[in-house]
Amino acid sequence: MSDDDWLVLPGTDRTPVSIGRVVTSPATIGTFVLLVVPFALGWLKSALFSPLALPSYVLYGIGTAIGDAIAPRFDFWLYWIPFLASCVGISVTIGFGYEWWRERADDDSSERL
Amino acid sequence: MRRRTILAAGSALAGTVAAGFVSQPSGDHRLLTAAREPGDAGETNTNTERLLPGTVHETRLHEIDAPRDGPTAMVFGGIHGDERNGIAVAREITEWHPDAGTLVVVPETDRVAVENDEREGVDGNLNRHFPADREPVSELARGIWDAVETRDPDVVLDLHRSLGIYDFHRQYVGQAVFHSPDAHGDALADALDDDSVPWYLPFHRFTARETDLSGPLLFQKAARELEASTYLFETTEFLLDQPTRNEMTRLAAARVLELHGLLETGGDA
Ligand SMILES: [Zn+2]
């Protein structure tokens, strides 16, 4: 297994978490689904907007406000691309945090045994 | 484990999605019912005539007389031909029953633009054809202005839609009520927020802005020269579909009629 298959927290040499584990983590997948699905439903039909879509509504809305101020020629649907990229970034960050926390919890419990 | 996580997330989503925010009952149902059904005072009387007959611009004007005296309101759709919410709702309004006064509706103001589904008609942007201290600058604008002057309305409402949101997307003017100084712009925006904008779509709350009356827009000329209370209503295409834009436009029109005494909703009953 090569070195870049592992994510190591800065300033530590322990509790590495594999990229594969982060990407397939329930925390990563759950976050991604929660960010994308409620917003996509509202996008398809306004009546399907719900409070669950609020985080993505804010993220997408602010993205378009900034984008429109600096590059007004783009259609708003193009903002789906940076929006989805942001959702991936947020999901992976949360998934990494969750897997790292689980790893540490496992280490701590095995040390106590 | 993972499958269970996804299933749990999926059912949580399905369970929390609302049944549709603009269809949720509130004060708006009473308002729209009052608009669509004749009141206690009796039936309305409708006349239809042609503006600019025999020209390429020929379009219909509907004049609905309520059983009781009251102010005259004019509603315009299709000044921009691709803003379909205003056209669709103005067509509906030709079937409304005001309780007092006279309701005048022109659903396809720039008929060539409406038929081509384009913003501008043969002479360009109609809503720049009403400059201060001059005649309207096109044949169509002069024909429309003649109809306005003849009716001498107390209230004018012009229906539009934008691509973005006013004060949020720099180049757009959606979700806004532009109004003459004496009009009820704030009350209209507040009522629309209550009736049609859920708390979880905060950027879509309506903004009311008093307009500068020196501009070349129809609603500015009507306020300037006829001292009418005038409104230019804008919804947005941003994250809102056609039925939702139509509902917001419908509620805006009914609320303007109520604020100016053409519609009675029976108080708080
Ligand atoms: Zn317009």
Lowest mean pLDDT among A11-15, B33-37, B254-258: A11-15
DSSP state of B156: E
pLDDT band of residue B257 (cuts 50, 70, 90) is very high
- Residue B5 pLDDT level (bands cut at 50, 70, 90): low
Look at strands B68-76 and B155-162 and give their pairing: parallel
Count CB neighbours of B224 within 10 A: 17
Distance of CA A2 to the CA centre of its chain: 25
Overall pTM > 0.95: no
Task: List pLDDT tens digits, range B176-196.
Answer: 999 999 999 999 999 999 999
Distance A105 CA to ligand 1 centre (A): 59
What is residue B25's predicted lDDT score, i.e. its pLDDT?
Answer: 44
Q: What is the pLDDT of residues B207-236, one digit of tens each?
A: 999 999 999 999 999 999 999 999 999 999
Q: Please list every residue in chain A whose beta carbon sits closer than 8 Å to the beta carbon of residue B198.
A: 49
Q: Give me the residue label for tokens 């039925």.
A: B243
**Best of B17, B23, B24, B169 to mutate (most A CBs within 10 Å, chain A):** B17
Confidence of residue B133 (pLDDT cuts 50, 70, 90): confident
Q: Say how far apart CA B121 and CA B133 lie, in whole Å.
A: 24
Nearest chain B Cα to A55, which residue? B200
Count of beta carbons in the 10 Å neighbourhood of residue B118:
13
What pLDDT does residue B68 have?
96
Q: Which residues pair with B161 in a beta bridge?
A: B235
Mean pLDDT confidence for B18-35: 65
Alpha-carbon distance B178 to nearest alpha carbon in chain A (angstroms): 21
Q: How far is the alpha carbon of B245 from chain A, nearest alpha carbon, in Å? A: 10
C-beta atoms of A38 and B168 within 8 A: no
pLDDT of residue A107: 74
Interface size, chain A vs chain B, as Cβ–Cβ contacts under 8 Å? 93
Amino acid symbol at A109: S
Q: Do B170 and A72 touch (CB under 8 A)?
A: yes
Half-sphere exposure of residue B233: CA atoms within 13 angstroms, side-chain side: 33
Answer yes or no: is pLDDT of A2 > 50: no
CA proximity to B77, closest of B47, B108, B55, B103:
B108
- Residue B245 has phi, psi (to 5 degrees) of -60, -40
